[in-house]
Chains A and B, each alone.
Chain A
Amino acid sequence: MNRPLPRWAELVLLPVLNLVLALAVSALVVLAAGQSPRAAFDALVIGSFGSWDSIGYTLFYTTNMAFAGLAVAIAFKAGLFNIGVEGQAAIGGLGVALVCLGLDATLPALILLPLAILGGAAFGAAWGAVPGWLQARRGSHIVITTIMFNFIAAALMVYLLVNVLIEPGQMAPETRRFATGLAKLSAFGFPGRSPVNLALPLALAAALAVWVLVWRTPWGYGLRVVGANPDAANYAGIDQAKRIIVVMAISGALAAGIAVNEVLGTHQKLILNFTGGAGFTGIAVALMGRNHPLGVLLAALLFGALAQGGSELAFEMPELPRDTVVVVQGLVILFTGALGGLLRAPLSRLFPARA
């Protein structure tokens, strides 16, 4: 029986140790690939923070990771494993695109953009709420349903982009460019030419909103009880089914933030696979960030740096693909999530028993 670790060890030490372990094992993989781990690490760091352009790109990816991590984390707070962030983000993108394609000729940017964001959030929320409803009212396991919904979303997006929304006369399965998009931060004085845009402050605001909602409202209190102890939720008269459905909707809406960053912020058109696997990285981000908005933001920065660093790495060391950072990701999920118990036992022996 392990003694519970002091709070700071649980929240900071353990994730940091897990990260160090993950990096160490990744170094072994790089060695197996015949490359120098030192060189790879240097390329990663320089690639993600070495110039204003790099920093901008890092922040751009961080935005995606933040939204994905928040989406997964808030669902985890209710005890739900939302693997469907990819699909929810994709459908969110659909919502953004429909608003823009329909209204960008008639509305000024100041009204269009918030509407598009709302549209994206609504669509993402719907795509998350359905599995939530299925879990709450029909007992269908949310892990399986969200996995399935990812694939259904992917198929739907392909169909729509190839057959319905495609800009007539072009080959690529994309919509036409929107009349406007979210301003890049470079327009506000941020140095460099990176695509980081207003979605970043939006992500920060979302993190704050999640914190307030989950830790500072009675509703959020009920959510945390449902996730921590469903029996106590019954005792306290908290409606579990409603919480599950609503939190999945919120999760889907947060996932749509990825769409806001990519579709509205960068490409200004809807393309296939704009999510780029951020949904799965979000799982790592949430696990590392211990499902707390502050932790999620920090972990998002880490994984954003890894994503950007990975691109640079692939450029600097052509023998390594950018997917090498995916190995780090997988190891983080492994050590933080599945093998979490491995480190806990020896650590708890290091700390004196509490009174």
Chain B
Amino acid sequence: MIAKPRGSQSGAPAIECRAITKRFGHVLANDAVDLSVQRGSIHGVIGENGAGKSTLMAILHGFYPMDSGEIRVDGRPAAIRSSADAIALGIEMVHQHFMLVEPFTVLENIMLGAEGGALLAKGQAAARQSLARLAQDYGLVVDPDARIEDLPVGTRQRVEILKALHRGAEILILDEPTGVLTPQEADDLFRVLRALRDEGKAVILITHKLREVMAVTDHVSVMRGGRMVAHLATAETSAAELGELMIGRRPGAATRPTPATPGVELLGVADLRVRDGAGVARVRGVSFTLHAGEILGIAGVAGNGQTELLEALSGMRAPDSGTVRLRGVPLAPCDAGEMRRLGVAHVPEDRLRHGLIADFAAQETAILGYQGDPMWRQVLGLLSGRAMERHTKALMAAHDVRPGVPGLRSALFSGGNQQRLIMGRELDRAPDVLLVGQPTRGVDIGGIEAIHQRLRAWRDAGKAVLLVSVELDEILALSDRILVMFDGRIVGDLAAGAGERELGLLMAGAH
């Protein structure tokens, strides 16, 4: 049910989308989406992961073509087939992962693609002038001769914005801009966005953080499941209402057998801090405990540190600081192999990247991480193809992996079967602690149910499961306890049966 925009302004909207539809295979990423953004406004587009926000923005700035629909810029129909088309129309995007050339200076980055002539000298003078003017108008101050690699993240984002403005952006789209910023830098950003709005530009802000939406936007549109479900004026709504719209009404969770009383503490995490590969702090002091006989769900929008948390706990990434206790004993820093030996198994979030080897046969994927186990070693410690085959066949039967052919290349199994194979591999070890990330990503409905059953059975057998998922449904259906992660911290600790509203707000950082 789409609410009409309240408080409309005169004049044609800066950009207007009508019935935009985009399909990827059998996934309907955008389903007849409407959006109308006025000049001189900051318009928020919110939604969970997979709601379709990124796809819509990709279409707007020419990365994908839409399947059907209409786009009007300033009231005139526009055909956007490439990023060059979008740039020509004044539509610019500031990506989540910056498109900057690190060893170049700010000036060189700003000029790239808009050099203003074959020789740089002329364009450089013009670019310097432009930068000076932009600094004056919007407070976007940067040193033109500084090298990007020397600049902090917040300043780099400023350069991205300056690049867009230098090219004559009238409609500026920002994709999850505050994910890498400190609160201070985020405030600076909002100041700039307000200045841009006051100049008559249209700013589209894609975010899942409700606090930001309430703080800086004039209008907000909510996307859910590929559809646009609401357009509201920010002044006339609240974080609670938005949170509910974002999450939607969910069917009551199926009654679950009462969980066994949680037993001993198996995993204890205290003040864990982890940085990602680029050195950005992603886990900023996380503490929790995980007991035998429970499924602990970690809810949250992707990108709030869950990936790094799993990597640290599984031994794939060394944490900066903090302690992890396994069965009460503090763990020395160790690698993934050691964690497995200690009884911690891991079903990775990204199965294609971490969990399997595309070109290996299924029976070889089935021993990934456990290749040294005596179970498939025979004479002289050599790997026995037959033992591996037998083991994999049994695994496939037990976990319903089809086709049950151990010699088939791993890449040729469907997503659901790959996931079941990996789960089977990890569960087969009878680990005390199972770390699971996005267990049903890319899995069909039937497969999802089967995997959920497995996890419940594991818990009922007295083991512990740490479940990380961006799918709130999944968290609600499985968890005995729910932690919400936002911005690298645990912001909520709720028992099963907690209200979705509450969860939605926590996930969006509204509290």
A: which residues have CB within 8 A of B? Answer: 4, 212, 215-218, 221-222, 224-225, 228-229, 231-232, 234-239, 354-355
Contact = CB atoms under 8 A, between A and B. Distances in A.
Nearest to A222: B371
Closest 4 CB pairs of A and B: A237-B337, A237-B336, A235-B354, A236-B369
A61 B243 CA distance: 74
A221 B353 contact: no
A236 B383 contact: no
B339 A4 contact: no
Nearest to B361: A7
B383 A237 contact: no
Contacts of A216: 382-383, 385
Given A217-B381, A218-B377, A221-B367, A234 B360 contact: no
A355 B413 CA distance: 9
A218 B357 contact: no
Given A216-B383, A217-B383, A354 B412 contact: yes
B354 A218 contact: no
A236 B368 contact: yes
21 contacts: A215-B383, A216-B383, A216-B385, A218-B372, A221-B371, A225-B357, A229-B353, A232-B353, A232-B355, A232-B356, A234-B316, A234-B354, A235-B314, A235-B336, A236-B371, A237-B315, A237-B335, A237-B336, A237-B337, A237-B369, A354-B412
A295 B375 CA distance: 30
B448 to A, nearest CB: 22
A4 to B, nearest CB: 7
Interface residues of B, number: 34
* Interface class of chain A by DSSP: helix
Nearest to B364: A221
A221 B357 CA distance: 11
B163 interface: no
Contacts of B428: none
Contacts of B383: 215-218, 221
Interface of B: 314-316, 335-340, 346, 348, 353-360, 364, 367-369, 371-372, 377, 381-383, 385, 403, 409, 411-412
Contacts of B357: 224-225, 228-229, 232
Contacts of A217: 381-383
Contacts of B336: 234-237
Nearest to B372: A218
A289 B380 CA distance: 28
A295 to B, nearest CB: 16
Contacts of B337: 236-238
Contacts of A218: 371-372, 377, 381, 383
B377 A231 contact: no
Given A4-B409, A218-B383, A231 B353 contact: yes
A237 B354 contact: no
B358 A235 contact: no
A50 to B, nearest CB: 41
A170 B228 CA distance: 90
B234 to A, nearest CB: 42
A228 B365 CA distance: 12
Q: Looking at B348, B364, B383, which has the most chain A CB atoms within 10 Å of its CB? A: B383
Contacts of A235: 314, 316, 336, 346, 348, 354-355, 368-369
A144 B409 CA distance: 34
A225 B314 CA distance: 18
Contact of B358 (A212, A229, A354): A229
A114 B355 CA distance: 44
Contacts of B314: 235
A205 to B, nearest CB: 16
A222 B382 CA distance: 13
Given A232-B355, A236-B369, A237-B335, 9 more contacts: A218-B383, A221-B364, A231-B354, A234-B354, A235-B369, A237-B315, A237-B338, A237-B340, A354-B412
B418 to A, nearest CB: 13
A163 to B, nearest CB: 46
Contacts of A236: 336-337, 368-369, 371
A218 B383 CA distance: 7
A4 B409 CA distance: 10
Contacts of A232: 353-357, 368
Nearest to A212: B382
A332 to B, nearest CB: 23
A231 B368 CA distance: 12
Q: Looking at A221, A237, A239, A355, which has the most chain B CB atoms within 10 Å of its CB? A: A237
A221 B363 CA distance: 12
Contacts of A4: 409, 411-412
Nearest to A213: B382
A222 B355 CA distance: 14
Nearest to A238: B337
A107 to B, nearest CB: 31
Given A228-B359, A229-B357, A232-B356, A237 B364 contact: no
A22 B314 CA distance: 49
B434 to A, nearest CB: 15
A237 B354 CA distance: 11
Nearest to A355: B403
A225 B409 contact: no
A235 B344 CA distance: 13
Q: Looking at A215, A222, A236, A238, which has the most chain B CB atoms within 10 Å of its CB? A: A236
Contacts of A231: 353-354
